[in-house]
């Protein structure tokens, strides 16, 4: 097949997807219908069995050539009507104007109320001069992290599979092409609302908000001001999401408003990173020269993005005080959710009506994070060792992680006193399901990428299986739960990732 062949793909005789009108029912102001651009000689890179189960796909069909061709953009899933949506947004704090699905093509919404996208399936009217392709490196990262985050209980888009092709794609160097098939209840972003508000297209703005309310936030319809209720619901979901990011040490890297999900999902995995050493000011995106999206700034950036969403919704909300009131719960919900997540990591189990320890627990957590930062302690390893120490009673391996031993000893004394006050026998059980043994550190993703680039997909599949059960002990891969190797610090992740 010619790499430049743009012939219309033939429908694949796939399962009955039960396609719904979904986003397409909004009309042509919101998208452009188009076909994926075929790639030469596609091949399987990786498939997620749990994701396939969520979509109701039989393993036999998923292993077929029809599935391979469909998820590479070479054939259409029967009944699908592919489209690319238009949106705008703020990028690195500046208004970027019209953006849109530059390399993502929405196949449609299934009977299971899940939208399916092909990412990297060719140019769209919104590619802004780009090639509309994704490369193997970045596709593997998105595939693995989507499923890893889902297994950690963090709201996210999902990834069904990755297919590869020898088609050359130019980034910093020449790389090979790949396509990620991802899905979610909706891929609508803050930027969709910003787009129509900026153009003063109020009927379209209202239609979009009504679509989101009627399909995803039905409880808002009965509110006095449904659009303010929508803003508040999105704010609360976003606050919950950010609390989970911060607790697990996840850096998104490019929190532009066009990368913010209206459903409070983690979306658009690019220059992300899970922390190795705990550094609150860590910048994972080498393109972020000003550090706007540093780890410790993420909660505030999310609030700033929500303020942009509020501005976009103002023609519908109409009253500024009402809009500000809808944003107000964000900080409270974030603080309470973060406190709850960190209490779980510490095993501080208490009854729901026991609020006596809120202030002291907050101070205990703040002091601990300061100690972790001062000694640049490995974040994941610390929580694993602390869990084991609470179980065994031997805190020496944890103490060995700190340069400030005296500071650690003082904190441990306060923690031990607080731990005694928790429900007996519950602390370790909660910690075992709150402190993952395995997260997708950069070096682990790099191992899978290097092997896959050489035609070996076994490392990716093994890593996927481990990340799908991140709290379990995987003795054969114990090294993946340890410290990052020295060479990991040289991995550079940018917006092209």
What is the tens place of the pLDDT at every residue in 378-433?
Answer: 999 999 999 999 999 999 999 999 999 999 999 999 999 999 887 656 899 999 99
Residue 97 domain flag: yes
CB atoms within 10 A of CB 361: 19
Q: What pLDDT, on a 0 to 100 scale, did the predictor assign at position 367?
A: 97
pLDDT at position 9: 67
**Structure confidence at residue 425 (pLDDT):** 66
Is residue 299 in some structural domain? no
Is the separation of the CB atoms in 48 and 161 below 8 Å?
yes
- Please determine, for residue 351, whether its predicted confidence score (pLDDT) is greater than 60: no
Kind and range of the H or E element at 183? strand 174-184
Residue 46 CA, chain-centre distance (Å), reads: 19
CA angle 490, 457, 1 (to 5 degrees): 105
Report whether pLDDT(494) > 70.
no
Average pLDDT over residues 327-335: 97
Domain boundary among 188, 216, 240: 188
* 458 within domain boundaries: no
- Confidence check: pLDDT of 356 > 90: no
Asked if residue 256 is part of any domain, the answer here is: no
**Confidence check: pLDDT of 270 > 50:** yes
pLDDT confidence bin for 8, thresholds 50/70/90: low
Long-range contacts of 420-423 (CB under 8 A, 24+ apart): 421/350, 421/357, 422/347, 422/348, 422/349, 422/350, 423/349, 423/350, 423/351
Q: What proportion of the chain, given as a percentage, has pLDDT over 90?
A: 90
Report residue 492's pLDDT band, with 50, 70 and 90 as the boundaries.
confident
Residue 332 maps to a domain: no
pLDDT band at 353 (very low <50, low <70, confident <90, very high): very low
Residue 56 lies in a domain: yes
Would you tell me the crossing angle of helices 320-327 and 298-317 to the nearest 10 degrees?
Answer: 150
Summarize pLDDT for 224-248 with one digit per residue, the tens: 999 999 999 999 999 999 999 999 9
For residue 158 the two structure tokens come to: 């999902």
Tally of domains within the chain: 2
300 domain-assigned: no
**Which pLDDT value is given to residue 2?**
42
Whole-number pLDDT of residue 123: 96
Q: What is the pLDDT of residue 13?
A: 60
Q: What is the mean pLDDT of residues 209-219?
A: 98
Categorize the per-residue pLDDT at 355 as very low, low, confident or very high, splitting at 50, 70 and 90: low
State mean pLDDT over 110-121: 97
In sequence order, what are the beta bridge partners of 84? 32
Query: Once rounded to an integer, what is the mean pLDDT over residues 63-73?
Result: 96
Instruction: Decide if 108 contacts 116 (C-beta within 8 A).
Output: yes
Q: Which of 188, 219, 248 marks a domain boundary?
A: 188
Identify the pLDDT of residue 4: 42
Position 128 in a domain: yes
The model's pTM: 0.94
Provide the token pair at 323.
């809009």
Question: Which secondary structure element, helix H or strand E, spans residue 85, and what is its range?
Answer: strand 83-85
Q: Which residues participate in catalysis according to the annotation?
A: 258
pLDDT digits (tens, 9 = 90+) for 287-325: 999 999 999 999 999 999 999 999 999 999 999 999 999
Tell me, letter by letter, the H, E, C secondary structure of 15-49: CCCCCECHHHHHCHHHEEECCCCCCCCCEEEEECH
Residue matched to tokens 């690319």: 84
**How far apart (Å, rounded) are the C-alpha atoms in residues 228 and 234?**
10
Q: Torsions phi, psi of 326, nearest 5?
A: -70, -30
> What percent of the chain is modeled with pLDDT above 70?
94
- Identify the domain containing residue 125 by its residue range: 10-188
Dihedral in degrees, nearest 10, Cα atoms 119, 120, 121, 125:
90
The Cα–Cα gap between 497 and 493 comes to 6
Residue 142 has a pLDDT of 98
Please report the beta strands in 285-389, taking only residues with DSSP state E, as ranges in sequence order: none
Cα separation of the two ends of the chain: 27
How many whole angstroms separate alpha carbon 358 and alpha carbon 336? 9
Question: Of 142, 76, 128, 132, which is closest to residue 104 (Cα–Cα)?
Answer: 132
Domain boundary among 172, 188, 204: 188
Task: Measure the CA angle with vertex 368, ends 362 and 370; round to 5°.
Answer: 105
pLDDT band at residue 330 under the 50/70/90 scheme:
very high
């Amino acid at each position: 097949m010619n790499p430049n062949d743009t012939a219309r793909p033939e429908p694949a005789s796939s399962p009955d997807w039960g396609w719904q009108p979904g986003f397409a029912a909004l009309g042509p102001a919101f998208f452009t219908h188009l076909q994926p651009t075929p790639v030469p000689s596609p091949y399987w890179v990786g498939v997620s069995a749990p994701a396939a189960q969520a979509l109701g796909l039989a393993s036999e069909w998923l292993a077929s050539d029809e599935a391979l061709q469909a998820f590479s953009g070479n054939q259409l899933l029967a009944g699908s009507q592919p489209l690319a949506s238009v949106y705008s947004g703020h990028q690195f704090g500046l208004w970027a104007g019209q953006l849109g699905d530059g390399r993502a093509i929405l196949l449609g919404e299934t009977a299971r109320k899940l939208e399916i996208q092909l990412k990297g399936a060719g140019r769209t009217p919104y590619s802004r001069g780009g090639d509309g392709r994704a490369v193997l490196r970045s596709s593997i990262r998105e595939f693995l992290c989507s499923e890893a985050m889902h297994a950690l209980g963090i709201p996210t888009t999902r990834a069904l599979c990755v297919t590869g092709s020898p088609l050359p794609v130019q980034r910093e160097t020449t790389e090979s092409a790949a396509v990620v098939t991802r899905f979610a209840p909706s891929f609508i972003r803050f930027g969709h609302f910003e787009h129509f508000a900026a153009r003063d297209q109020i009927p379209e703005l209202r239609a979009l908000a009504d679509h989101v309310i009627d399909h995803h936030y039905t409880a808002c319809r009965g509110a006095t001001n449904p659009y303010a209720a929508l803003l508040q619901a999105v704010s609360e979901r976003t606050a919950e999401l950010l609390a989970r990011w911060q607790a697990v040490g996840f850096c998104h890297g490019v929190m532009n408003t066009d990368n913010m999900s209206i459903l409070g999902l983690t979306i658009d995995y690019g220059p992300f990173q899970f922390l190795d050493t705990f550094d609150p000011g860590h910048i994972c995106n080498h393109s972020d020269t000003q550090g706007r999206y540093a780890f410790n700034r993420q909660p505030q950036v999310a609030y700033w993005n929500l303020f942009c969403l509020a501005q976009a919704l103002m023609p519908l909300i109409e009253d500024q005080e009402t809009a500000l009131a809808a944003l107000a719960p964000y900080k409270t919900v974030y603080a309470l959710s973060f406190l709850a997540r960190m209490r779980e990591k510490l095993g501080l189990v208490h009854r729901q009506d026991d609020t006596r320890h809120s202030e002291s627990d907050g101070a205990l957590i703040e002091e601990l994070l300061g100690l972790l930062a001062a000694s640049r302690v490995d974040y994941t390893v610390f929580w694993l060792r602390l869990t084991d120490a609470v179980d065994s009673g031997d805190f020496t391996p944890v103490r060995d992680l700190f340069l400030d031993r005296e500071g650690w000893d003082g904190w441990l004394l306060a923690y031990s006193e607080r731990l005694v006050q928790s429900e007996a026998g519950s602390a370790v059980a909660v910690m075992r399901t709150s402190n993952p043994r395995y997260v997708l550190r950069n070096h682990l993703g790099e191992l899978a990428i290097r092997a896959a680039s050489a035609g070996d997909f076994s490392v990716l599949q093994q890593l996927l299986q481990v990340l799908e059960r991140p709290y379990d002990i995987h003795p054969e891969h114990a090294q993946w739960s340890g410290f990052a190797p020295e060479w990991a610090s040289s991995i550079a992740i940018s917006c092209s990732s």
